[in-house]
Amino acid sequence: MFIVVFAVTGFLLGREAYLGMLSLHVASEALQITLSIGSSVAGALIGVLLAPLAQTFFEDELNVAEGAIERLSPAEIVGGAVGLIVGLGISLLAKNIAFEFVSFGGRSGHYLAIVLYLVVAIFCAYLGVRIGSKIGARPLAERGDSMPVKIIDTSVIVDGRILEIVESGFLEGTLVVPRFVLRELQTIADSSDPLKRTRGRRGLEVLSRLQELRALDISERDYLDLPPGSVDAKLVRLARDVRGKLLTNDYNLNRVASVERVDVLNINELSNAVKPVVLPGEELSVHVIREGKEPNQGVAYLDDGTMIVVEQGRRLIGEETEVVVTSVLQTVAGRMIFARPKVQNTSIR
């Protein structure tokens, strides 16, 4: 392609050079043939020399463009294409209406009109692509019967409790897993650490199960201006762009999302909210399994995982016993219950 283009260009330049010589009354058929052939060959040689450089340049640019397109959803691509066409149409309309006045200035006015048209066309095309892609991304935020989408974090996938929540029907709307979260999960599954590898594989099984239960969308959107490892920042940006809610168990990500005014659904908070309410004075039957941090303390757990610290319960390790709740403490990690053995309470009376 470069050889043909530069050869034709050389031929045209050679012809113009010969026509310019006619003004000097230098006319020769041999000269015309020589200039035409020589300029064509020279142009072809220039094309041969420039082709490798141009190929390298355009390959790099095309690879960048291809990578950016792969990270867009089909709706965004279609929206951007439609926006491009609309933007070019608006620029053409502006050229036909407004630039006619500029053309009255003769040759210089004509060139000025062309330059202004190119500037307006580039601006309208860029603006059309941006607006079109934004509109194309809007359906992602409006799926699930106008319910905002839920963007799943890696911590939620590895945790696994989302399966029970989805099965119970309390989580409405569309679940979205970004491609960069899948890459992070795959990295965890391929880790040399056995614990991390087990958690990563469990997360992949959870995703497979979610796909069987309901529609699970994979978002190809990525943010090249952010470092590849900044998954939390990308999640917050994605949730803000599609006006969705972020589903996470990560406390730090929860705080950052709140600062960015992104709605967060925290499964740990949900778990604490649905735990049975225990009031001081209630009696519970617990199994003391180990000693506590303080002297003579014992530790037991309810079925939902709530920790119970039993005063004077060290001697009851390994036994099933009745306790009386003395106080309840709500912490960031969850709810903690303090109690004392019921037998001790009866003996005091």
Question: Do 249 and 287 share a domain, yes or no?
Answer: no
How many other C-beta atoms lie within 10 A of the C-beta of residue 158?
20
Indicate the residue among 254, 272, 290 that finishes a domain: 272
Indicate the residue among 240, 272, 304 that finishes a domain: 272
CATH number at residue 177: 3.40.50.1010
* Contact by Cβ (8 Å): 181, 136: no
For residues 98-125, average pLDDT? 67
User: 264-266 and 335-341 as β-strands: parallel, antiparallel, unpaired?
Assistant: unpaired
Give the three-class secondary structure for 191.
coil
Kindly write down the DSSP assignment for every residue of 20-39, as one continuous string. HHHTTT---HHHHHHHHHHH
How many other C-beta atoms lie within 10 A of the C-beta of residue 28?
11
145 domain-assigned: no
Distance CA 157, CA 151 (A): 11
Residue burial 181-194, b: 16+ Cβ < 10 Å; e: rest: bbebbeebbeeeee
Question: Do 287 and 242 share a domain, yes or no?
Answer: no
| Element at 98 (helix H, strand E) | helix 74-102
201 domain-assigned: yes
**% of the chain with per-residue pLDDT over 90:** 6
CA atoms within 13 A on the CB side of 326: 13
How many structural domains does the chain have? 3
CA distances for 237 relative to 94, 131, 187, 232, 300, angstroms: 36, 18, 22, 9, 42
Give the structural domain span for 263. 150-272
Residue 348 predicted with pLDDT over 50: no
Question: Do 267 and 285 share a domain, yes or no?
Answer: no
Residue 249 predicted with pLDDT over 70: yes
AA identity, residue 258: S
Distance CA 121, CA 89 (A): 9
Length of the chain: 349
| Element at 230 (helix H, strand E) | none
Question: Do 37 and 132 share a domain, yes or no?
Answer: yes
For residues 181-190, average pLDDT? 90
| Mean pLDDT score across all residues of the chain | 80
85 domain-assigned: yes
**What does DSSP assign to residue 1?**
-
Distance CA 313, CA 175 (A): 45
Residue 305 predicted with pLDDT over 80: no
Residue range 36-84, pLDDT digits in tens:
888 888 888 988 888 888 777 777 666 666 666 666 667 777 878 888 8
Question: Do 293 and 180 share a domain, yes or no?
Answer: no
The band of 22, judged by pLDDT with boundaries at 50, 70 and 90, is: low
Q: Say what the pLDDT of residue 144 is.
A: 44
Indicate the residue among 108, 140, 172 that finishes a domain: 140
Give the three-class secondary structure for 214.
coil
Distance CA 77, CA 70 (A): 10
Reference 77, options 220, 235, 240, 244; nearest CA is: 220
262 domain-assigned: yes
Distance CA 195, CA 188 (A): 9
Question: Do 62 and 134 share a domain, yes or no?
Answer: yes
Question: Do 9 and 27 share a domain, yes or no?
Answer: yes
Strand boundaries in the chain, DSSP class E: 150-152, 175-178, 216-219, 245-248, 264-266, 283-287, 290-291, 298-301, 307-310, 320-330, 335-341
